[in-house]
Amino acid sequence: MLRMQGFTSGPASQRVRCDLRTAVRCLIVSLICSGAIVSSSTAHAQVSTYTELAADGKASPVVATQIAPYALTSSVAVRSVLNISSDGATPALFTLPLSEVDQGEPINVAVSLCNGPTRGIAPPIAENASSSDRAALEESSLVRVYVSINANNPRPGPDSSDIADMVYARGGLAQIRLNEEGSETIEEVWVAIWPPEEAWGETGAFEIEVLVNPGAPQQQLHSQYGILLEDTDSSRALVTTFNYTAGQSPNVSLMVLPSVGDYALPSTYYNSSFCAIADAWNTYAASSERPVITSSETTRGRTQSWQGNDQRMQFEIGNLDSTSNYTAWLLNVNSSDSNVSSVALYPAIKFKTKQAGVCRLVWDIDFCPEVAYSIPLDPVVATEDALNIINETVTPNLANFSKTLSTWSCNDTYFGQYSTVQSCTNCLNSYRDWLCAIAMPRCTDPVESQSNGSAAISDVDSLTGRSVGSNTELLPYVLNRNVSDTRQSYIDNQLDVDGPYGEVLPCLYTCLFVQRNCPGPLLSWTCPRWDITAQHDYGTFADAGANGLGAGENGGAGSDMARWGGPLRYIAQDAFGNTYCNAMGVDTYLREQNTDHVGGVDAHGDSNDTVALGGEKEAGMRAPAKVMPRTTVNGSIH
């Protein structure tokens, strides 16, 4: 079980310790509110507040009317109610008095929609609506937040937009930052929260949470992902965070919710709301169905931009239901010298657990450190026994390859330097990762139809060299496997896999990285060519071109940059949990190199290094589809 630290605020005699059930509420409210926790209210424009020592619901309600706005305290969040009206003309008003304002400091306003209509407010948008009409309809359904720091505009709104800032609550969250340079005179801060311009048939009210503070924002919504999905099995998932320096672990927490059902967010209308996510997580964490989350640190996924002692946090999420969809968010809490903490919420990722069957999630493997995915394994076989069996193949082959590589004077810059950007260490690591992908095939649920549900080619004879085109249907490169058709004989003979499963094929780039990173004159390593034999043994990125290489060539990320759940390239796995090929980290490397222009492959698959990608030579070593124990020729496996 993930153990949450006991976060505190206020005098020592008034500190409150957070257990797992209330951890997120403490993170989002106690930490950022510097001594006040806020509960929900039940009447329109009524705000309930209470100190940490007050019992829940015992505070006296304060009415925030259009005539007498509720006076906020800096850095203290409050909750109130915003009625939905047919004309959108009844706002909830708040003010931050001048006594709470630091002149010369920016002002941050954050408004979250905690709950409301189950589906939010959904306007009727025709499929053939233009982009401008679609945008206008969507905006008409969103809560509006107006903020003024001008004494002449104490009730900011649509009629005074020329002297007020406005933002829509998209995904249930609105954030405004005023006086960025600190040069404006703040006469007071007035916040007006207006219901949607059009109710579109919905009635009732939104519960809202309001937080205003000077200086650095105390609630931040990141635009880039903070966690990545590694893989799932039938009851567990593994995710990892961004990298950080060893010994300086970030104060991060993970929240996981079912994507549908009683514990899910009502709809995507609330998917960025701090309080909606926290409330749903608190309810889920208090139930018997709650997930079991444990954390540890890893150096898996190391890339060239990492410092020598960088690492990542990884979370194992257990007690999940099979074949079920989940959504996960990462929270990062930062404390400043002034004892005021800020909470950063990262975009959600989606994932689905697998069927109950032969796929088992494994990671932190000494001989295959980049493996963090499910492998085919009978439920009765112990994981340790299975890894020992697999290691009988991996370690001898890696040792033989290393021995051959050592005949090259890798450290001799005069005679042995074959590349200005690669090294024999890179070569050995690339070969090891390729070897592990072959020896430990990635397991998934079988596709219903090999011909219509997968981009992999089961009949290699059907590949004639004629282009099969880009993977426009965004199908995974999965081959259905049976007892007589496993990639390695020990899978059915020793790992006792007797049921069908799907194998996510290794990305072609796992082979090309060996070709790119290793000394060509010594190894002459070549990889199968796309449309000739490659698709039978390898897959590629969802956004690769018709030749199996590059990125952004199969429709890119879309005009709204959301096709993959974000502006990503080299898509071996998207933010919705769809896996296209087994990347072994090459996707991360390529994204980094494409951004930093550090050798390697650019967006079109062109090589910037001395070893070309793609193509086959008359002589040389062909990267095989299977690994045979202890059989080597010149250090490469045949």
Domains of the chain and CATH, by start = 37-219 (2.60.120.680), 227-352 (2.60.40), 423-484+500-637 (no CATH)
Contact between 516 and 589 (Cβ < 8 Å): no
CB within 8 Å of 77: residues ≥ 6 apart:
29, 32, 33, 36, 38, 209, 210, 211
Determine which helix (DSSP H) or strand (DSSP E) holds 186, and give its type and residue range.
none
If you ran DSSP here, which 8-state letter would residue 404 be given? H
The per-residue pLDDT for 257 is 97
The per-residue pLDDT for 249 is 86
Tokens of 224: 């880039």
pLDDT at residue 399 tops 90: yes
What band does 147 get if pLDDT is binned at 50, 70 and 90? Answer: very high
For CA atoms 197, 199, 204, 205, give the dihedral sign. Answer: negative
What band does 415 get if pLDDT is binned at 50, 70 and 90? Answer: low
Q: What mean pLDDT is predicted for residues 362-382?
A: 95
Q: Angle 424-439/383-405 helices, nearest 10 degrees?
A: 140
- How many CB atoms are closer than 10 A to CB 425? 11
Question: pLDDT tens digits, residue range 312-368?
Answer: 999 999 999 999 999 999 999 887 655 667 899 999 999 999 997 899 999 999 999
| C-alpha separations of 613 from 213, 445, 530, 616 in Å | 53, 32, 12, 9
What percent of the chain is modeled with pLDDT above 90?
Answer: 46
pLDDT at residue 304 tops 70: no
pLDDT at residue 99 tops 90: no
Q: What mean pLDDT is predicted for residues 103-121?
A: 91
Classify 559 as helix, strand or coil.
Answer: coil
pTM of this prediction exceeds 0.85 = no
Closest CA to 593 of 520, 475, 531, 512: 512
Q: What mean pLDDT is predicted for residues 384-390?
A: 95
pLDDT at residue 636 tops 80: no
Which of 118-127, 184-193, 299-308, 501-510 is predicted most confidently? 501-510
| Distance in angstroms (rounded) separating the CA atoms of residues 508 and 533 | 11
pLDDT at residue 22 tops 50: no
Q: 635 or 299: whose pLDDT is higher?
A: 299
| Distance in angstroms (rounded) separating the CA atoms of residues 81 and 274 | 16
Q: What mean pLDDT is predicted for residues 506-525?
A: 88
CB within 8 Å of 30: residues ≥ 6 apart:
7, 8, 9, 16, 18, 37, 52
pLDDT at residue 45 tops 50: no
Q: What mean pLDDT is predicted for residues 291-311?
A: 80
Using left for φ > 0, alpha for ψ between -120 and 50, and beta otherwise, residue 223 falls in alpha
Q: 185 or 304: whose pLDDT is higher?
A: 185
pLDDT at residue 599 tops 70: no
pLDDT at residue 450 tops 60: yes
Average pLDDT for the chain: 79
Q: 629 or 300: whose pLDDT is higher?
A: 300
pLDDT at residue 112 tops 60: yes
The per-residue pLDDT for 313 is 93
Determine which helix (DSSP H) or strand (DSSP E) holds 294, and give its type and residue range.
strand 292-298
Q: What mean pLDDT is predicted for residues 578-594?
A: 90
| Distance in angstroms (rounded) separating the CA atoms of residues 501 and 549 | 27
The per-residue pLDDT for 164 is 78
Tokens of 410: 């890798």
